[in-house]
Amino acid sequence: MSITKSCFGTMPDGRQVDKYTIRNSSGAYVEIITYGATLQSVYVPDRSGRISDVLIGFDDLEGHLKYSDYQGMTVGRCANRIANGRFTIDGVEYNVVKNVDGKLCLHGNGEFSHAVWDAEIRGDNSVALTYFSADGTFGFPGNVNAQVIYTFTDDNTVLINFSATSDKKTFINLTNHAYFNLRGDSQGDILGHVLKINAGRFTVTDSDSIPTGELRSVKGTPFDFTAPKAIGRDIGADYDQLIMCKGYDHNFCLDEHDANEPVIFVTEPESGRTMEVFTNLPGVQLYCGNFLDNIPGKGGTVMNKHSGFCLETQFYPDSPNHPDFPQFILEPNVMFTTSTSFRFSVI
C-alpha cells in the first residue's frame, strides 16, 4: 500500500487543491481531492485484469467548478432535500437556504461539496479530510466540525467514514455523491447494470421530489430490486414516480441489516465487475443521472442521461419534517458517525 500527494489545481482565490492517490498491492488505486472531499477516481480491474476508472466525472478542477452535478463529492450538512427550507428543533424554527427554485434546500446548498477541505495522510492506506462549518451558515444551527476518512484496502474496498460534532443541536446527513459506471473509463450507459437492493419500501415523492410521507411497498412496482434486474428494465415504465423524475431518483428504505453484510449488489455483465455496498445507514438514494446533458467528462467523454448511477447512502430525505422517519439529530458535543463501503470484485 502507498499514498502519494500531488497538486490537482488552484481555486480562483488562489487556494491549492490537492490530490491523494492510494494504491494497493495489486496496483488498483483511488484518487481523492480536497475540493469537496471528493472521491475523484476508482481504478479497479475487470475480469481480464484490465484496470480502469469506474467513476464518471472530470479530469481537472475546472470541470468540477464549471459543470459539477456533485460528481464524487461529499454532500452536507444535510444531503438530499428539506421541504420549504424549514425545520424545527425544540420548538425553534430554522429557515435555511432554498437553493432550488426558491422552494427547498438541496444538499445544504452544496456547502461541503464546494469547500476546500484540510487533509492528512493516515498510515499507508487512509486520508482524513476535515472541514469547519460555522453556526448559521445557510441558516443551519451549530458550529460543526466534520470529517471524512477514505480508506482503500487490498481487497479493493473503498471505505468512507463520516463523523461530525456540533456545539448546538442540529441536523446532519452526510453522503458521498459518486456516479458509478462499472464498464470503466466512462464508456456507454448504465442501463445494463444488474442491481439488487435489499429494500422492501421506498419513499414516495411529490413533483418537487419531496417525500409525501408514504413508504410504499416495492412489490409489484418498477421499484422492486429485491431480486437482481437490469437498471434499464423498468426505468421507462408508465409509472407516476418514474415519469416525474425521468427515471429513478428515489430513496430506498433499506431492510434491517447488519453493517458487516452487503445490502446492495451491482454487476456489469460485459466487464464482469461487481460492487457490493455496506452501510450502517437506513436509506439509499438511487439516482441514474436522469438530468445529465452533454457535460464534458473524463478523457474526452461526454456525460449524458444514464451515463452513471449514484447510490447515496443516507437518512431519508426531509427527515426533519417527518418525525416517523429515522432521525439524524445531532446532540451538542456528541459524535455523529456513519460508514459506507464499496467492495469491487469480478465474476
Kindly list the catalytic residues: 177, 312
Cell triple for 227: 431480486
Residues 78, 134 contacting (CB under 8 angstroms) = no
Residues 225, 197 contacting (CB under 8 angstroms) = yes
State how far the alpha carbon of 247 is from the alpha carbons of 133, 244, 290, 346, in Å. Answer: 34, 8, 6, 27
Residue matched to cell numbers 432550488 = 100
3-state secondary structure the chain: CEEEEEEEEECCCCCEEEEEEEECCCCCEEEEECECCEEEEEEEECCCCCEEECECCCCCHHHHHHHCCCCCCEECCECCEEECCEEEECCEEEECCCCECCCEEEHHHHCCCCCECEEEEECCCEEEEEEEECCCHHHCCCCEEEEEEEEECCCCEEEEEEEEEECCCEECECEECCCECCCCCCCCCCCCCEEEECEEEEEEECCCCCEEEEEEECCCCCCCCCCCEECCCCCCCCCHHHHHHCCCEEEEEECCCCCCCCCEEEECCCCCEEEEEEECCCEEEEECCCCCCCEECHHHCEECCCCCEEEEEECCCCHHHCCCCCCCEECCCCCEEEEEEEEEEEC
